[in-house]
Copies of this chain bind each other. A is one copy, B any other.
């Protein structure tokens, strides 16, 4: 929406009149609080207003109003996105579902019906109360919402064995751009009636509609895993161990943490990690009986073959959980070192050594600290470019490295984003991955759902 400031204020007032000032927030402070997501996109601007609906009817009213006046809408969950997919835009409102948090578990159908604003952790908790498990576990699971997870098709640590968000969505309630409400799917494990629109929506980054409710598939709780931790002199050695491990078995977790990440975690909160380690590999097996022993033995052999300097195994779930916690602590720890750009590139698993080796070359070329953590078992890496934002030259070098890392991934037949989404920060490279024909199809599909182009403009594809 582009109009004079007065006209804009009048338009916003119309929504306030309908939904009340408790739902439609317009103070500078409130708008500032919803300007950025975790990507801290420097191009984010103050939104016209922040709308905090309490129910689906208010979401519908908001979209009817937006359609009437041509107002851009930035859908938002917890704002924990890492690609700038929820950066506020000029002439936009932020439509944040954080108040819609109801969760209802049905153990009979093994499903959880969660409003979009419910935290991933809350869904897990509600499932656990019935002995059930909601697998998808982005590192952010304690702070990110199910709606946001659906928007990005969030992955996580366990997805190397248990899949990503889309694998656990059986149904969606979606408010269309014009305010109509549609319901897709249901507590049915198999359903091929019509085009699979649920699958199209998961990962669509808020560009096709506002997801207001998610019907999540739950599975029986699994046994506690055993954990193997291996230390390597170099990240490339550790990556080679990953390739060998994953060629023959299917562990429930394969996480890689480099030296810089280990030290950032130790600086932040001493956990007793080996500061001298070039890299640490964290492998878990939740298989039962002899399969578990076989998986761990295969992982150990792979680590030894890749010159691991130390290998530690434990069956104690708490001890294993401590290492997982250390892994999850990497981003918060790195955040304290300065500004950062977080990558999310992926490659076919056998090319993981080339990918992390190439990232090291880019870091050396630009004299930058690029820490690397990776969901290594599915080839998804998170190089984190740390830089001093007050140093213009370093900032420029960081931006160049950010692009070069994506180009590296593409040259290896990989992807510019494995689980965070394109958002706004990765958009410049997307057409190089997909090609113009595919981009054209995507734009045309977007137009079907959102003819006026109101939903999350500039984000995604």
A interface residues with partner B (beta carbon < 8 Å): 107-110, 131, 152-153, 155, 159-160, 163-164, 166-167, 176, 180, 182-184, 186-197, 199-200, 202-204, 219-220, 223, 243, 246-250, 287-292, 346-350, 375, 378-380, 413-422, 426, 430, 433-435, 437-439, 441-442, 444-446, 448-449, 460-461
Contact = CB atoms under 8 A, between A and B. Distances in A.
A85 to B, nearest CB: 11
A152 B191 CA distance: 10
Given A108-B247, A348-B188, A202 B196 contact: yes
Contacts of A107: 247
Given A247-B110, A348-B109, A445-B445, A420 B192 contact: yes
Contact of A193 (B193, B194, B430): B430
Contacts of A435: 182-183
Contact of A192 (B131, B152, B199, B446): B152
Given A189-B349, A191-B346, 11 more contacts: A110-B247, A190-B346, A191-B417, A192-B419, A192-B420, A194-B422, A194-B433, A220-B249, A288-B290, A289-B292, A444-B448
A176 B438 CA distance: 11
B190 A159 contact: yes
A350 B109 contact: yes
A348 B437 contact: no
Which 4 A-B pairs give the minimum distances between C-beta atoms? A289-B289, A199-B199, A189-B378, A288-B291
A247 B348 CA distance: 36
A321 to B, nearest CB: 21
Contacts of A446: 195
A422 B176 CA distance: 25
Contact of A380 (B110, B189, B200, B290): B189
Contacts of A248: 131, 220
Contacts of A287: 288
A193 B430 CA distance: 7
Given A193-B430, A194-B430, A220 B250 contact: yes
B250 A378 contact: no
Contacts of A176: 437
Contacts of A442: 194-195, 197
Contacts of A437: 176, 180, 182
B193 A422 contact: yes
A193 B415 contact: yes
B192 A418 contact: yes
Contact of A196 (B194, B199, B441): B199
A443 B400 CA distance: 43
A210 to B, nearest CB: 14
A203 B197 contact: no
A457 to B, nearest CB: 16
Contacts of A461: 194-195
B167 A417 contact: no
A166 B199 contact: yes
A419 to B, nearest CB: 6
A195 B191 contact: no
A192 B203 contact: yes
A190 B348 CA distance: 9
Given A247-B107, A437-B182, A196 B203 contact: yes
Nearest to A350: B108
A414 B446 CA distance: 29
B380 A190 contact: yes
13 contacts: A108-B348, A159-B190, A182-B441, A186-B348, A188-B346, A188-B415, A189-B378, A190-B378, A191-B417, A195-B445, A200-B200, A220-B248, A289-B289
